[in-house]
Amino acid sequence: MILYKESSGISAYLEKQRQKGETIGFVPTMGALHRGHMALVETSAKHSGLTVCSIFVNPTQFNDPADFAKYPVTLENDLKMLAETGADIIFLPEVSEIYPAGMDQLKQYPLGQLETILEGKYRPGHFQGVCQVVHRLLEIVRPDVLYMGQKDYQQCMVVQQLIDTNNLPVRLETCTTIREDSGLAMSSRNMRLSEEDRSRAAEIYRTLSELKKQLKPGSLKALKGNAIKQLTDAGFKVDYLEICHALDLTIFDEWDGKTPVVALVAAFLSGVRLIDNLVLHA
């Protein structure tokens, strides 16, 4: 496994590999790695000649400075997991490598309604930050395939839009959400939960699974209201729980029984913000 800290170094190395005909798979992360991240690395390693993984806690995507300050860092363990899972090249840039001109006048991306609903609504500026970092990383790594997790459903849509509007020569491959046995979606933020809260957090997946069972054509209002109550009663502070068109995230209050729909939720438990989603009808 080779480690790079400078963008010029990794770009030059990967260019040589590309000229030799290697295909490149890329897994961008913010570290504090877990089995969800490793599933992406494994998938890339299976399908690409070289697997690149970046670890960079991107300041521009945190709308809450306290969340940024508390983001877990477990570099030694991350590198061990990556070596064991088959990553070939690790990119560990400083902020100045990603934003060489500073962070004051970064490019803004047209994202349409994706920026004003769900995560976009509750984390203003978050998806601009995601686009800024992913665009820059794609320019440095120039992968054939970009691997991202369905756990961040809306983020995958934002990144696909980034790729499409900028004609970036990369394919986005979305990988299914990896969960604990309890159903809790794996997340770096779970490390900040107490043992007791971690088991309570499984209520999110139970609620989503219940929604899936109860989904039927007609009004969705009672279904959504019950799900929010279930979470609130379990001690969560819910930012949103919505049922949306699975392909463009338009929020539905009624369902026709045919359109593909996904339920998406964001909720705080003891000050830790957790997100999850489940496709209810494909």
Min. distance of Cβ 199 from ligand AMP in angstroms?
17
Minimal distance, residue 219 CB to ligand AMP, in Å: 32
Choosing from 34, 37, 126, 135, the catalytic residue is 37
259 secondary structure, DSSP code: S
DSSP-derived secondary structure for 81-98: HHHHHT--EEE---HHHH
Burial of 31 (0-12, 13-18, 19+ CB in 10 A): buried
Specify the residue, 97 or 223, whose C-beta has the smaller distance to ligand AMP: 97
Whether the CB-CB separation of 42 and 52 falls below 8 Å is answered with no
Supply the minimum distance, in Å, between the C-beta of residue 134 and ligand AMP: 10
Cβ–Cβ < 8 Å for 193, 201: yes
Q: Token digits for 1?
A: 């496994």
Q: Shortest Cβ distance from residue 67 to ligand AMP (Å)?
A: 12
Is 126 one of the catalytic residues? Answer: no
Cβ(172)–Cβ(163) below 8 Å: yes
Closer residue to ligand AMP in complex, CB, 207/223? 207
CA 267/CA 280 separation, integer angstroms: 19
Q: Are 25 and 143 in contact (CB under 8 A)?
A: yes
Radius of gyration of the chain (CA): 19
Compare residues 151 and 224 and give the one whose CB is closer to ligand AMP.
151
Task: Compute the C-alpha angle 49/79/27, nearest 5°.
Answer: 45
Q: Which is nearer to ligand AMP, 120 or 149 (CB)?
A: 149
Applying CB under 6 A, the residues found at the interface with ligand AMP are: 29-30, 36-37, 39-40, 148-149, 151-152, 175, 177-178, 185-188
Bridge-partner residues for 244, per DSSP?
251, 262
Query: Cβ closer to ligand AMP: 176 or 219?
Result: 176
Q: Residue 218 Cβ, how far from ligand AMP at the closest point, in Å?
A: 32
Q: List the catalytic residues.
A: 37
